[in-house]
Amino acid sequence: MAENKNNRLPIYAVIFTVLLKLLFLLTHYIQEDAFITWRVAQNLLDYGVIGFNGETKISASTTHLYVFVSYLFNLVLGKEYFIEPLLIFNSILFTIGTLFLAHLTLKNPWHKAIFIVLIGILPPAVKISILGMEYGILFFLEMSLLYYGFSKGRKWALILLPILIMFTRIDTIIFLGIVFLVDIFWNRKIRWSYIWGGILGLLSVLSFNWLYFGELVNNTIVAKKLLYEHDFTFAQNLDYFLVSFGNFWGMLKLPGNFNPVTVIVLIFELLCFIYLVRQREKRNYFLWMIFIFGWVKQIIFISQKSLFDWYYWVPQLLLFVPVLIFVLEQKEKRNLWLSLLVVFYILPMTVFQTIHSIATGNGEWNYRRKIGLFLNSYEKDKNQWILLEPAGYVPYFSGLKTIDEVGLVDKQIQTEVKKDKAHYWLNTVKNRKPKYLLSYNNLFTGKDAAYYQAHYKLLKEFRIKDNLKSDNRILEKIYHLKPSGTDYNLYVKID
């Protein structure tokens, strides 16, 4: 009886962790790019087309599977009520994924339960669960593949899950490839079901892209590469790596080129991993998979100068897994080790993420969303165009047709980038003549000021300093401690 009760502990831990993380919904911290995916889903609902602006097809979202999931939530719950249920759904799936990971790496039910709670409240886990991105579904699918496919040997999982994983994000070929290589070296045999799953997954997503969008690779990847591509010297590349290393390799972003917390944690992760794999345990098979993937994914993306921090959430968590296992399985002074970990790392990280979520949620939901709501009220003709960056909150809440600076949601701007990268913004304004411009800069100063003054007028200024107020004194201090947002100038075309 007691044993059965203990076996339920991981399930209880899943429920407790999900409920605990739902408190972060109160911060309204939702990632900008989530609104791009949700607008694509609503475009599919309204026009029957996977796009962003009416009937024009474009892979504006990085994820196809999450677009379809978001579409279903919109269809069933309606546009006004789908967000919170979808965030809860993401959080549940992610936490079930941590349950599978606990089953793969731990034996003791108590250890599994503590593992699920502690890993679930780390900053990347909170962001995966609550920020509205596709990584909750992705983590669930990846851990399901390891658990059902490689631990339980279910052939259906080896075939079906790679297809779903690649439809979630095409860059998951890195994860699938690392798992394949470790499995080959470990078992000295080929799992043909997995081979077929990988082939079908790759063929499915590439065929879908080509037949529907007329492209092999998602437009988002092409657009970012086109705009952000630079030729760096070796010294510049090295400096860039050091800056990125400090910000993205660990879980805590700090200003400057050197992040001592990241370095200390990284060394401890390596030492814990080496300690664990020296023991002859079956779980080493999975530890090698997740640890090598964590390193390879981060190295590849940092080398490609990928600045967006969500690329690093899953690797950050997986690299930290050996630390939790090491601490939980200490036979002597386990409580001391666990207390030190919780007091000096887990709790500070959770506090940091709480402050970050409150401040960023204020800057995104209470500030940037208001710009979209203002435009939605001001402009009744939703066929009018706006040129801006980024393409999340403002287009979503304004309902206007959108040209974004990067070209994620509108391909025509990429043509301007190819023709004249230095002047593509001005050329787009001249050629497309959008009714609204939303800019970080004062367009009425500088060498092109005369053109903007002749054709546009300043409609409204949006200043982040005006948004750092609250009746709650603690919230107001947090807003000032970490102001989040950007000053904008909104211009409207002169008729």
Query: Which segments in the chain show pLDDT lower than 70?
Result: 1-5, 229-231, 240, 242-259
Domain boundaries, the chain: 359-493
- The residue assigned the tokens 């990429």 is 414
Residue that has been written with the tokens 């007091």 in this structure: 343
* Helical packing angle, 473-481 and 347-361, nearest 10°: 90
pLDDT at 392: 87
The residues pairing with 404 across neighbouring beta strands, listed in sequence order, are: 388
What pLDDT score was predicted for residue 222? 83
pLDDT at 244: 64
Q: How far apart are CA 22 and CA 9, in angstroms?
A: 20
End-to-end alpha carbon distance in the chain: 78
Res 344: pLDDT: 86
- Distance, in Å, from the CA atom of 193 to the CA atom of 284, rounded to the nearest integer, reads 23
Contact 394, 375 (CB under 8 A): yes
Q: What is the DSSP letter of 252?
A: -
Q: Which two tokens stand for residue 480?
A: 């000032």
Say what the pLDDT of residue 4 is: 62
Amino acid letter at 102? Answer: A
Exposed, middle or buried, 3 (CB in 10 Å: 0-12/13-18/19+)? exposed
**pLDDT value at residue 335:** 87
What SS3 state is found at 350?
helix
Q: DSSP states of 393-417 as a string?
A: HHHHHH--EEEESS-SS-THHHHHH
Please state, in angstroms and as integers, the Cα–Cα distance from residue 349 to each residue in 128, 237, 354, following that order.
15, 30, 9
pLDDT at residue number 495: 74
CA atoms within 13 A on the CB side of 426: 15
| Predicted confidence (pLDDT) per residue in 460-477, tens digit | 999 999 898 888 889 989
User: What is the reported pLDDT for 309?
Assistant: 82
CA 98/CA 144 separation, integer angstroms = 10
According to DSSP, residue 448 is labeled T
Q: What is the pLDDT, as a whole number, of residue 25? A: 94
175 neighbors 293 (Cβ within 8 angstroms): yes
How far is it, in rounded angstroms, from Cα 355 to Cα 123?
Answer: 11
Cα 404 from Cα 453, distance rounded (Å): 22
Nearest-CA neighbor of 353 among 321, 293, 313, 325?
313
Using alpha carbons, select from 190, 211, 181 the residue that is nearest to residue 59.
211
Bridge partners, 489 (sequence order): 439, 461
Cis peptide before 390 (omega within 30 of 0): yes
Task: For tokens 């000295």, name the residue.
Answer: 188
Question: CA angle, 130 as apex, 338 and 386 as ends, to 5°?
Answer: 145
Distance CA 70, CA 136 (A): 13
pLDDT at 387: 95
